[in-house]
């Protein structure tokens, strides 16, 4: 400490804050909040299981949607007409009906006319949900 020949030794640092730390040392002692659940931590096994489960569910939904899309088979040379007015106009113009899927109120005048035409032509009529 002394320069002029007194007792020599290393200068010891005081207990104050580290110079230039900006208070980071004290903030480091504070808590960081609650630990996230295991399935929310990316590095945890439970998180990976959850991801696999969600991926499998997404695949199932895709398969189911594909099955639903392909469940109505349309033969070559036939076409699918959707909607009350387009179907009614097609029937009025004399287009032959093979099948009718009905999901609306049969008391509507246009729908009733389509159902009458389908029954006279011998087409199958299937009632389904929207």
pLDDT of residue 29: 79
Write down the residue that tokens 């997404």 correspond to: 58
Phi then psi dihedrals of residue 99, to 5 deg = -145, 150
pLDDT in tens, 47-100: 999 999 999 999 999 988 887 766 677 777 888 888 888 888 988 898 888 888
Domain residue spans of the chain: 36-69, 84-127
3-state secondary structure (DSSP) of residue 126: strand
pTM of this prediction? 0.43
DSSP 41-75: -TTSHHHHHHHHHHHHHHHHHHHHHHHHHTSS---
CB atoms within 10 A of CB 91: 21
pLDDT in tens, 2-55: 556 666 777 766 666 667 777 777 777 788 889 999 999 999 999 999 999 999
In the 8-state DSSP scheme, what is residue 4?
A: S
């Amino acid at each position: 400490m002394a320069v002029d020949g007194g007792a020599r030794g290393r200068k010891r640092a005081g207990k104050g804050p580290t110079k230039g730390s900006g208070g980071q040392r004290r903030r480091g002692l504070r808590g960081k909040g609650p630990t996230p659940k295991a399935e929310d931590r990316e590095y945890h096994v439970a998180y990976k299981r959850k991801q696999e489960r969600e991926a499998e569910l997404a695949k199932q939904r895709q398969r189911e949607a594909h099955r639903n899309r392909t469940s109505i088979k349309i033969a070559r040379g036939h076409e699918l007409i959707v909607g009350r007015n387009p179907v009614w106009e097609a029937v009025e113009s004399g287009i032959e009906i093979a099948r009718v899927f009905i999901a609306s109120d049969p008391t509507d005048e246009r729908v009733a006319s389509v159902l009458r035409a389908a029954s006279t032509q011998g087409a199958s009529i299937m009632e389904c949900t929207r």
